[in-house]
């Protein structure tokens, strides 16, 4: 329902001569609608605000230290270890991945946390003599990395 018609329905309900019960029911529906709109706006504002606080330098530093060795500086799967894993590191700058990132903004974060490829990344690093120190991931790190990669991939 559009906001204008929602506001009109409030006026209609308040002016209704049907009695107190009708007014009370209308008021309850309006309260629910107002709460839904408030929640939606709050979520939108929180999402926009949290993205605006992303630290691009932190995201870039994490990417270069932990991802570029396989995916390359441009995220095209051209890093020095790109072809040393099976399957090779994918090109993340393709239109298909860009669409996936737009459709599922958390795809980068989930691949870090859930490791859908099992131990492929640690095994590839270990087999090639690369020792990455453990990283105590924070929400800000995940947000910054996600934002950096999204901006990097969008440039392609």
Q: Can you give the pLDDT at residue 15?
A: 43
- Look at 51 and 149; give whichever has higher pLDDT: 149
pLDDT digit string (tens) for 33-87? 666 665 666 555 545 545 557 888 999 999 999 999 999 999 999 999 999 988 8
The whole-angstrom separation of Cα 97 and Cα 103 is 10
Contact of 75 with 93, CB cutoff 8 Å: yes
Share of the chain above pLDDT 90, in %: 24
pTM value? 0.62
| pLDDT above 80: residue 89 | yes
Distance CA 141, CA 69 (A): 18
At 17 the three-state DSSP class reads coil
């Amino acid at each position: 329902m559009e906001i204008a018609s929602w506001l009109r329905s409030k006026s209609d309900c308040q002016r209704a001569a049907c009695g107190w019960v009708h007014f009370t029911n209308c008021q309850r529906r309006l309260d629910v609608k107002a709460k839904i709109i408030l929640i939606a706006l709050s979520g939108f504002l929180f999402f926009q605000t949290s993205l605006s606080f992303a630290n691009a330098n932190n995201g870039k530093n994490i990417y270069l230290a932990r991802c570029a060795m396989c995916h390359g500086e441009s995220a095209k799967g051209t890093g020095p270890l790109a072809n040393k894993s099976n399957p090779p590191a994918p090109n993340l700058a393709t239109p298909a991945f860009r669409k996936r990132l737009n459709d599922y903004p958390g795809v980068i974060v989930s691949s870090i946390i859930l490791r859908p490829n099992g131990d492929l990344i640690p095994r590839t690093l270990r087999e090639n003599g690369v020792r990455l120190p453990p990283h105590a991931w924070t929400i800000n790190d995940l947000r910054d990395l996600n934002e950096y990669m999204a901006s990097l991939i969008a440039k392609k």
